[in-house]
Every structure is written in C-alpha cells, then in structure tokens.
Amino acid sequence: MEVDSEDERDPDWLKEKTAKQIEEFTDVNEGEKEIMKLWNLHVMKHGFIADNQMNEACLLFAENNAAAIVEQNLQRNFLLHLISMHDFNLIGTRTIDKAMARLLQRQAAKR
C-alpha cells in the first residue's frame, strides 16, 4: 500500500526548508543551529505539539540523538536548549538531569 504524502509528518521538502531557514539565522552560533535542526526534525518526526509532551520529547531526543550531540560536541548547546525550555515552564529540572545523564553515559561509552 502506498503512503499518502499528505499523511507524512516530516516530508523531505519540509526537512530541507527547515534546515535552510535555520542556516539563515545570523544571531546564533553553529552549535545552536545544529541543535535547532536536530530538535525540529525530532519534533516533526514524532509529532510533539503540546506543552505537556515536552518532558517526554526531551528525553527521547537525548536518547535518539546522544551520539550526534556528543560527536559534534553540542552538549553545552543542548543544555542551554533544555534550560531555555525550563525557563518557559515546558520541562522540569528532573528532565534536564535525566537528559544530560543520558548524554554523559554516551560520552563515557565513547571513551
């Protein structure tokens, strides 16, 4: 059975457009851009839309993207992303701790 492209959450054209728009930002550094791209693709893929889904979204993001975050040395950028979400009351401190612990586990395994 063929999949209807209208049902697709993250079509290729949308992924490309999102990445291109982020690259046009001039007031953020390259690490911030990479985290934004990874995060936006993650949110599109999994269909997270509600504030109450953000704790789960962050933990799943850390789990699924730990390798890329560690390899590209984006841990601090990710932490700042989490802190920003906390500042807007989207996630709790427990989520920040758990997400960063997942990255530290990945980092330790890499050594």
> Taking a C-beta distance cutoff of 8 angstroms, is the pair 68, 96 a contact?
no
Question: pTM of the full predicted structure?
Answer: 0.82
Each residue's pLDDT tens digit, 33-49: 999 999 999 999 999 99
Quick one: residue 3, left, alpha or beta (phi over 0 = left, psi -120 to 50 = alpha)? beta
Give the whole-angstrom CA distance, residue 71 versus residue 105.
13
Q: If we measure between CA atoms, which residue out of 77, 52, 50 comes closest to residue 62?
A: 77
**What is the reported pLDDT for 4?**
47
pLDDT at 76 over 70: yes
Q: How confident is the model at residue 19 (pLDDT cuts 50, 70, 90)?
A: confident
Looking at residue 1, what is its pLDDT?
A: 45
Give the whole-angstrom CA distance, residue 41 versus residue 47: 10
State the amino acid at position 92 in one-letter form: G
